[in-house]
């Protein structure tokens, strides 16, 4: 597994940047951490993982204590937003307790989660009470049969029950994530966008990204955001771009005529937003991944378990973050191969 090559001036970089937070060599301030709580999922979406998936043993993943320590460290280093992902984050034991701990960290301003929604009827209210702010829920199709096809065994009614539970618990605004896949759901994008006419939701269309063993399938099934926009406008009328777009948000927002909610497009493949990227990713096995679509990672868990001191580990994180690459290498044919999407969390 590729690792990050740290600069030879680690102490200087650490000294200069600790006071100002995590900053990379291009001057981007990194204040957003996506944490994969587990690689396990209760679905098997075709674009995410093989049906017969082998998950890592629990001993190879961060324990609650290790995760809490790393979270405290990252917030001290300037992380102000955390998104919890998976696999499927709601299957992580003691999720509510972990959320409560994170929400109490001084300096953390936003704590959100991306989920398939299936367990939200039981968890939405406890998570909201613990300090979770919002949820993104994956809904790639409104057709129950196709939903089962895409997820291999999912129940769409269970997901909608999760959406309703999240709304009732105050986890708003609801964001619906739809990965657009040619031949699976590209004929449904207008129906998904139509949800925003009556609901104050954000429906976000995501370009399919190539990863690991699923890369060949993904490359042949990509639908660009421009194509998705055309499909929506052909049925629902012109999309109006929303003013005040923050380039750090990957979803560029639009509104349909008279709609209460918004439509967003995440164009990682066709319209990269790397120049404004402020993200780091922490995998469930304790690797700091500097770019979603590059394999380079920095191992936090091994030195932590080997007894490296808190302050020394913090200096290493600062140095690793400094080496964050400018962007992905997909245009040059560089496809990430060491993990599939479920092992990173998106």
Give the start-to-end residue ranges of the domains of the chain: 10-340
Cis preceding linkage at 138, omega within 30: no
pLDDT at 214 (0 to 100) = 46
Q: pLDDT-based confidence at 91, cuts 50/70/90?
A: very high
pLDDT at 210 (0 to 100) = 62
Pairwise CA distance, residues 165 & 17, whole Å: 42
Q: What angle (nearest 5°) sits at the alpha carbon of residue 217, between those of residues 140 and 231?
A: 45
Least confident of 151-155, 157-161, 206-210: 206-210
For 227, residues 6+ apart whose C-beta sits below 8 A from its C-beta are 186
Q: pLDDT-based confidence at 127, cuts 50/70/90?
A: very high
Least confident of 6-15, 19-28, 250-259: 6-15
Answer yes or no: are the C-beta atoms of 113 and 346 closer than 8 Å: no
pLDDT at 52 (0 to 100) = 73
pLDDT at 215 over 60: no
pLDDT at 32 over 80: yes
Answer yes or no: are the C-beta atoms of 324 and 4 closer than 8 Å: no
Pairwise CA distance, residues 263 & 126, whole Å: 29
Answer yes or no: are the C-beta atoms of 13 and 7 closer than 8 Å: yes
> Cβ-count burial of 33 within 10 angstroms (0-12 exposed, 13-18 middle, 19+ buried)?
buried
pLDDT at 155 (0 to 100) = 92
> Cβ-count burial of 88 within 10 angstroms (0-12 exposed, 13-18 middle, 19+ buried)?
buried
Pairwise CA distance, residues 139 & 178, whole Å: 5
pLDDT at 171 over 70: yes
Q: pLDDT-based confidence at 330, cuts 50/70/90?
A: low
How do strand 262-266 and strand 251-255 relate by DSSP bridges? antiparallel
pLDDT at 216 over 70: no
Answer yes or no: are the C-beta atoms of 74 and 33 closer than 8 Å: yes
How do strand 175-180 and strand 202-207 relate by DSSP bridges? parallel
pLDDT at 334 (0 to 100) = 54
For 249, residues 6+ apart whose C-beta sits below 8 A from its C-beta are none
Pairwise CA distance, residues 226 & 224, whole Å: 5
CB neighbour burial string for 194-203, b if at least 16 within 10 angstroms, e if fewer: bbbeebebbb
For 233, residues 6+ apart whose C-beta sits below 8 A from its C-beta are 239
Q: pLDDT-based confidence at 345, cuts 50/70/90?
A: low
For 275-323, give the DSSP string.
GG--EEEE-TTSEEES-TTS--EEE-HHHHHTT--HHHHHHHHHHHHHT
pLDDT at 40 over 90: no
Pairwise CA distance, residues 76 & 93, whole Å: 25
pLDDT tens for 224-268 read 999 999 999 999 999 999 988 877 788 899 999 999 999 999 987
Pairwise CA distance, residues 145 & 130, whole Å: 35
The answer to whether domain 10-340 has CATH 1.10.1030.10 is: no
pLDDT tens for 281-325 read 999 999 999 988 787 899 999 999 999 999 999 999 999 999 999
The two structure tokens encoding residue 64: 């609650």
Pairwise CA distance, residues 265 & 239, whole Å: 11
If you average pLDDT over residues 203-207, what whole number do you get? Answer: 95
Pairwise CA distance, residues 324 & 291, whole Å: 7
pLDDT at 124 over 50: yes
The residue to which tokens 């690991």 are assigned:
212
């Amino acid at each position: 597994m590729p690792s990050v090559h740290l600069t030879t001036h680690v102490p200087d970089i650490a000294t200069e940047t600790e006071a100002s937070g995590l900053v990379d060599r291009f001057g981007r301030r990194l204040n957003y951490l996506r944490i994969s709580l587990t690689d396990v999922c209760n679905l098997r979406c075709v674009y995410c993982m093989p049906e017969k998936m082998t998950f890592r043993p629990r001993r190879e993943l961060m324990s609650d204590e290790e995760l809490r320590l790393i979270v405290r460290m990252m917030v001290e280093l300037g992380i102000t937003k955390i998104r919890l992902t998976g696999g499927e984050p709601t299957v992580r034991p003691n999720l509510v307790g972990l959320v409560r701990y994170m929400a109490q960290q001084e300096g953390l301003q936003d704590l959100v989660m991306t989920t398939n929604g299936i367990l939200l009827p039981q968890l939405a209210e406890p998570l909201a009470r613990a300090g979770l702010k919002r949820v993104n829920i994956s809904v790639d199709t409104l057709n129950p049969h196709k939903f089962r096809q895409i997820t291999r065994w999912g129940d769409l009614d269970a997901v909608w029950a999760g959406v309703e539970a999240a709304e009732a618990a105050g986890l708003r605004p609801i964001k619906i994530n739809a990965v657009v896949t040619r031949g699976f759901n590209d004929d449904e994008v207008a129906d998904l966008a139509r949800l925003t006419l009556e609901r104050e939701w954000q429906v976000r269309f995501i370009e399919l990204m190539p990863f690991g063993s699923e890369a060949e399938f993904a490359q042949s099934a990509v639908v660009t955001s421009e194509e998705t926009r055309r499909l929506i406008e052909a049925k629902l009328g012109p999309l109006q771009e929303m003013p005040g777009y923050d380039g750090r948000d990957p979803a560029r927002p639009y509104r349909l005529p008279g709609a209460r909610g918004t439509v967003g497009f995440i164009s990682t493949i066709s319209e990269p937003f790397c120049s404004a990227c402020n993200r780091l990713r922490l995998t469930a096995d304790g690797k700091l991944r500097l770019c979603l679509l590059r394999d380079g990672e920095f191992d936090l868990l091994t030195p932590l378990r080997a007894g490296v001191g808190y302050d020394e580990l913090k200096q290493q994180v600062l140095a690793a973050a400094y080496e964050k690459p400018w962007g992905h290498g997909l245009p040059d044919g560089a496809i990430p191969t060491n993990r599939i999407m479920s092992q990173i969390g998106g």
